[in-house]
Amino acid sequence: MSLLPNLNTCKVAIIGLGYVGLPIAVEIDKTLICYKTGKKLSRKIIGFDINKERIDELNMGFDRTNEVSRDDLLKGNNISFSNIESQITTYDVYIITVPTPIDEFNNPNLKPIKIASKLIGKTLKIRKENSLIKNLPIVIFESTVYPGLTQEICIPIIESEMLGKVNKDFLCGYSPERINPGDKGKAIGDIVKITSGMDEKTSIWIDSFYASFIKAGTHQAKSIKIAETAKVIENTQRDLNIALINELAIICRKLNIDTLDVLEAANTKWNFLDFKPGLVGGHCIGVDPYYLTHRSTLAGYTPGVVLAGRRINNYMADWIIEELISVMTSDGFTLSESKFLILGLTFKENCPDMRNSGVLKLIKKIQSYGISIVVVDPLIKKTDKNLPKEIDFYDQIPDDQKFDAIIAAVAHDQFKILNLEFLKKLIVSKGKFVDIKGMLPRELNPIRL
């Protein structure tokens, strides 16, 4: 028998069922014919998560991230969900999709990925003791990490827990995820997947595995480190491009020029990159550059450009509010008696995720002036226990109130269709509009980035 698992019938465990892990689990389950070979696929999938509430919800057909349908969860081919460790010990492929956040000092917080590596090590030890399983398990990390983390941190943890060795007792690879939550036009299968492995045979197996269910195809990177670095530079490049345009927005405001009009003109050049100013939040673009700068600093080089971009993007929320407050103060508003309406709380449009949202920074800054805040977000439940303190929260715009300022912060589809008359009714005389995403009618004369 071959030491590698059978590509068509392998049993796959996904560890961490968030915005990344769940769609992958479902995509593998849904794909019954291999895109590469045309052969029939008959794979058993288990989604594992330490969050029991999440598992209970998935077992009832509810995905709180809005990425996967009820039917895909309840009428899957051969997929199950569990938070019980003993249920994952007989699988062939382990895909790790746990969070890789940063701490309060912007350093990588490796706790979740270290805990997950430990779990894999313990699991593989039990699996190894099962004399009925002959093939080698394959562990694939998908979490975003800094260059080298898989081999320097994760593999040693697995080896020590398993009492075994990579390439001998298990195989390992890395395949970064590029999913774009909330973007229904770019599903997981539409995005080319980078793959990599510790050695040639593992790389080829992992690449064929992803090519079997990712319609868009794969790119086999030359090493795990290359695949890891490719992921962090993708998001770092985005962060820096936005930072450049945010800096332009600050300059344009000083010079009384509309940034979006400038970008519209500049975009007519074939090689001008189409980036817009705005808040950078969430757990990818605002986080991944710090993974790169952390590893680089450890290696003796403190990046200049990357960290400068981070500083500008982190400053935008304060800058927007300072500009608004300066205009309102000149117009005679009494700030402590003012009330602001913020449209949108999530970190990006059409996605219910509010973790690390730039809007949270806006709220903090506004509250520092003693101003009351009403926040509306149709994608967040009023009962969400993570809602910021001391705000009035609604999932629909309260049209019986008037506001001194309205900040259009997140371009949810529901906000993009708000009309001029409706918005005018919500604002006091001389009240101000701030349009962070360029989505309000120009007739309102909003402060635009």
Ligand X SMILES: NC(=O)c1ccc[n+]([C@@H]2O[C@H](COP(=O)([O-])OP(=O)(O)OC[C@H]3O[C@@H](n4cnc5c(N)ncnc54)[C@H](O)[C@@H]3O)[C@@H](O)[C@H]2O)c1
- Cβ 96 to ligand X shortest distance, Å: 8
Distance CA 426, CA 424 (A): 5
Residue nearest to ligand X (CB): 18
CA pseudo-torsion sign 174, 178, 181, 185: negative
Q: Judging by DSSP bridges, how do beta strands 218-220 and 339-343 pair with one another?
A: unpaired
Interacting positions 260-319 with ligand X (CB under 6 A):
283-284
The first and second tokens of residue 205, run together, are: 């197996």
Interaction of residue 177 with ligand X, rule CB under 6 A: yes
Nearer to ligand X by Cβ, of 290 and 433: the residue is 290
Whole-angstrom Cα distance, residue 12 to residue 29?
A: 9
Interface stretch with ligand X, choices 15-23, 192-200, 241-249, 255-263 (CB under 6 A) = 15-23
Name which of 95 and 243 has its Cβ closer to ligand X: 95
Segment interacting with ligand X, rule: CB under 6 A, options 33-41, 91-99, 307-315, 394-402: 91-99
**Choice between 143 and 218, CB closer to ligand X:** 143
Does residue 354 interact with ligand X by CB under 6 A?
no
Query: Could you tell me the smallest distance in angstroms from the CB atom of residue 3 to ligand X?
Result: 27
Residues 37 to 76 in contact with ligand X, rule: CB under 6 A: 48-51, 54
Set 154, 252, 284, 351: catalytic member: 284
Cα-Cα end-to-end distance for the chain? 62
From CA 13, how far away is CA 88, in angstroms rounded? 7
Find the part of the chain contacting ligand X (CB under 6 A) among 157-165, 175-183, 374-382, 430-438.
175-183
Position 17 contacts ligand X (CB under 6 A) = yes
* Complex with ligand X: residue 54 or 127, whichever CB lies closer: 54
**CA angle in degrees (0–180, nearest 5) for 55-64-85:** 20
Three-state SS string over 127-184 comes to HHHCCCCCCCCEEEECCCCCCCHHHHHHHHHHHHHHCCCECCCEEEEECCCCCCCCCC
* Contact flag: residue 99 with ligand X (CB under 6 A): yes
3-state secondary structure of 447: strand
Q: Is 143 in the site for ligand X (CB under 6 A)?
A: yes
Nearer residue to ligand X within complex by CB, 351 or 363: 351
**Shortest distance, CB of residue 121 to ligand X, whole angstroms?**
12
Q: Does residue number 179 form part of the binding site for ligand X (CB under 6 A)? A: yes
Q: Does residue number 229 form part of the binding site for ligand X (CB under 6 A)?
A: no
Q: How many CB atoms lie within 10 A of CB 312?
A: 20
* DSSP 8-class letter at 443: G
Question: What is the DSSP code string of 81-137?
Answer: EE--GGGGTT-SEEEE-----B-TTS-B--HHHHHHHHHHHHHHHHHHH-TT--SPP
Q: How many residues bind ligand X (CB under 6 A)?
A: 28
Q: Calculate helix-pair angle for 111-129, 155-162, nearest 10 degrees.
A: 40
Whether 34 is catalytic is no
| 293 close to 111: Cβ distance less than 8 angstroms | no
- 97 in contact with ligand X (CB under 6 A): yes
Q: Does 181 bind ligand X (CB under 6 A)?
A: yes
Closer residue to ligand X, CB minimum distance, 100 or 357: 100
Using CB under 6 A as the binding rule, whether residue 16 contacts ligand X is answered as yes
Q: Which of 10, 13, 20, 449 binds ligand X (CB under 6 A)?
A: 20
Q: Which of 7, 13, 14, 18 binds ligand X (CB under 6 A)?
A: 18
144 binds ligand X (CB under 6 A): yes
Whole-number Å distance between alpha carbons of 419 and 400:
16
CB within 8 A of 134, min separation 6: which ones? Answer: 1, 3
Where in 112-141 is the site for ligand X (CB under 6 A)?
112, 115-116, 119
If you search the block for the tokens 């020590």, which residue do you land on? 160
For ligand X, the closer CB: 19 or 340: 19
Residue 116 or 345 having the CB closest to ligand X: 116
Quote the CA–CA distance of 74 and 198 in Å, as a whole number. 36
List the x/- string, 389-408, binding to ligand X by CB under 6 A: --------------------
Q: Which are the catalytic amino acids?
A: 284
Binding residues for ligand X, per CB under 6 A?
15-21, 48-51, 54, 97-100, 112, 115-116, 119, 143-144, 177-179, 181, 283-284
